[in-house]
Structure 1
Amino acid sequence: MSAAAPAPAKEAGVAAFPWDEAMALCFGTLRLSPKDFWALSPRELAALASPLSRARGGGPSRARLGELLQLYPDRR
Structure 2
Amino acid sequence: MIAAGRGEGGAPRPFPWREVMAFGLGVLRLGPDAFWRLTPRELAAAVEGFAGPAAAPAPPGRAELAALMRAFPDG
CA distance in 2, matches of 1:53, 1:16: 24
Root-mean-square deviation (CA, aligned residues, Å) is: 2.1
Tell me the percent identity: 47
Q: Which structure dedicates a bigger proportion of its chain to helix?
A: 2
Higher relative contact order (CA 8 A, sep 6+): 2
CA distance in 1, matches of 2:19, 2:31: 16
CA distance in 2, matches of 1:53, 1:21: 17
Alignment gaps of 5+ in structure 2: 1-9, 56-75
Q: What residue identity is the alignment partner of 1:16?
A: P
Name the counterpart of 1:38.
36
Q: 2:23 aligns with which of 10, 25, 32?
A: 25
CA distance in 2, matches of 1:31, 1:55: 22
Larger Rg: 1
CA distance in 2, matches of 1:25, 1:31: 8
Alignment gaps of 5+ in structure 1: 1-11, 57-76
